[in-house]
Structure 1
């Protein structure tokens, strides 16, 4: 018997990285899983890795109408919704004010703040009906600490996502809904390919791996309904930001 037997989970950004790893571990724990992202083929690959029962629901989550249609497809297939993992996100190489364009800024805010807002808003009625609904938002270390690596738009959007998660707990705890925001440091996912400076494999091997974050999300999902884990901050042991600070301090 799995810890999540009978539960229905909807994972966004499920075609790769943290989303794919999370969908797999939730399914292994017994949940029936719906998978959403922009592209059908990566979602279908995740579904094949899970096995029978995974639902593929492609959607552009920056479009509220597509969010609502995807939610309706999940409810039509499974009849209920218990867990939402709002993981879809985006970054871009333009990470300095001097080179940032309005188009890039708009795209990052749409993907990293507006899309998870639409997902949460769309899912609230079904999560209230479940009696013990859970939303897990995948934010970032950049959502808790302001720094230059991720760029100003990404930092601002992820800070907004952290705040949004806490407001859900403030307003919805009386309805049995729990919201958790996970703030991982560097994770070895395809988004790393968008870094202006490419990192070698040995550096990426010391980062968090998608399965590490997925296991943290699984832990949150397996808590009893009276337990709300509001926030998780997680980083690699070899935290490159800390190591750089120590190196500068050693130089006087």
Structure 2
């Protein structure tokens, strides 16, 4: 666990500048997570950055101005998620936004060749990890005063249509939609809003193969257009900026010319 510069001293909330809201970003060490963290920092949010690589989190914190709290976390481990949210509570006293972003593609292999261990890795990271973080956020947001907060889940266009050889990833992203809807419903009475952003071909380390050439539904391999991850981050910033009386339930942000509309 590490932290940047702290504001104030003593007791919960000591690390939060007066008037600022607190956002937790998982998978914050690179890609969309880093882009969203930087966008929220620019908007004046206090940040908690979570991920498995401490050095990558430190890099994001430096880019965000150095004042973020960084907590090395494997979201598949309940005890580490509990430790993460305890750090949020102890350091800031509350949580206003969870961007549930940590995820993995898994190997792109035919369904009959997918190893059980690889299936479990994708499900544990993308679905169970998202649930554990959402559950912990829900508990904190329900108990805090003022009550409430917002959860934004990172879905995918694969929450709507699959790519070839993506059964584990696609299954988890379909499940993410159910998680989003259930959290949105159950959170109403506690002023907890939950929405989902479905992303298509943001340029990150995870999507480098898109521009190099990727298997299409017709069996051909073709390069696909990508977009800047900053465009995703600006959409998350908008979703996060709404009052809790308003919610973007689902948003899709994608490279305009990617083969999604009409895929197959």
Q: TM-score, normalised by structure 1?
A: 0.88
Q: Deviations over 1:6-60 (max 9, x none)?
A: 1000000000010000011111111100000001000000000011321110111
Counterpart selection for 2:150 from 123, 134, 142: 134
Instruction: Check conservation: 1:94, 1:104, Cα contact below 8 A.
Output: no
1:172: which partner in 2? 187
2:88: which partner in 1? 74
Q: Distance in 2 between matches of 1:222 and 1:77?
A: 22
Q: Structure 2: any 5+ residue segments left out of the alignment?
A: 1-17, 215-222
1:239: which partner in 2? 258
1:248: which partner in 2? none
Counterpart selection for 2:198 from 166, 183, 196: 183
Q: Distance in 2 between matches of 1:153 and 1:227?
A: 33
Deviation (angstroms), 1:148: 2.7
Distance 1:11 1:150, change over 3 A: farther
Return structure 1 stretches of 4+ with deviation > 3 angstroms. 195-200, 241-245
Q: Structure 1: any 5+ residue segments left out of the alignment?
A: 246-252
2:233: which partner in 1? 214
Query: Which segment is superposed worse, 121-130 or 20-29?
Result: 121-130
Deviation (angstroms), 1:244: 6.2
Deviation (angstroms), 1:132: 3.4
Greater share of helix residues, 1 or 2? 1
Q: Distance in 2 between matches of 1:150 and 1:142?
A: 12
Deviation (angstroms), 1:131: 2.4
Query: Which segment is superposed worse, 234-243 or 29-38?
Result: 234-243
Deviation (angstroms), 1:150: 6.0
Q: Distance in 1 between matches of 2:185 and 2:202?
A: 29
Instruction: Check conservation: 1:142, 1:150, Cα contact below 8 A.
Output: no
1:144: which partner in 2? 160
Q: Distance in 2 between matches of 1:139 and 1:149?
A: 18
The two structures, once aligned, show a CA RMSD in angstroms of: 2.2
Q: TM-score, normalised by structure 2?
A: 0.84
Deviation (angstroms), 1:186: 1.5
Q: Deviations over 1:139-193 (max 9, x none)?
A: 1100122x23460111001110111011011111111000011111121111124
Matched, 1:157 2:176: no
Greater share of strand residues, 1 or 2? 2
Query: Which segment is superposed worse, 236-245 or 159-168?
Result: 236-245
